[in-house]
Amino acid sequence: MNDRKNKDLKTFEAMARIYCRAHHERTQQDDAGLCPDCRASVEATLARTQACPFGHTGNCQDCSIHCQRGEARERIRAIMRYAAPRMALRHPLMTGEYLRKKIAGRKRDHRG
């Protein structure tokens, strides 16, 4: 696994984790905090971004090429829409303490 793929994976996992914890059964979630559906969405998205002609350096919603298609796209869009305002996407300190506080603080926020 190269560095960029690993970084993308961590980003997607972090976002999907926020969404999954708010929407899905905790009993189904793996070590990364993702249920099988969210895990599949992350893996599908990761595979797509590896083929992104822009190197996936921008936000997916700004990309003119649609990396995602079909059901996986709809799912990841829902995840992005929910999670994006809840984490600083480009923030280098997106993991650990920062995210935990975010999740704890915004858990009851359903405006997204």
Which one, 24 or 106, has the nearer CB to Zn ion? 24
Q: Binding residue for Zn ion (CB under 5 A) from 5, 21, 24, 77?
A: 24
Which one, 63 or 78, has the nearer CB to Zn ion? 78
Q: Is 38 in the site for Zn ion (CB under 5 A)?
A: yes
Q: Tell me the closest approach of the beta carbon of residue 24 to Zn ion, in angstroms.
A: 3
Q: Give the binding-site size for Zn ion (rule: CB under 5 A).
A: 4
Which one, 28 or 59, has the nearer CB to Zn ion? 28
Q: Is 15 in the site for Zn ion (CB under 5 A)?
A: no
Which one, 63 or 102, has the nearer CB to Zn ion? 102
- What would the 3-class secondary structure string for the chain be? CCHHHHHHHHHHHHHHHHHHHHHCCHHHCCCCCCCHHHHHHHHHHHHHHCCCCCCCCCCHHHCCCCCCCHHHHHHHHHHHHHHHHHCCCCCCCCCCHHHHHHHHHHCCCCCC
Angstrom distance (rounded) from CA 39 to CA 35: 6
Contacts with Zn ion by CB under 5 A lie at: 20, 24, 35, 38
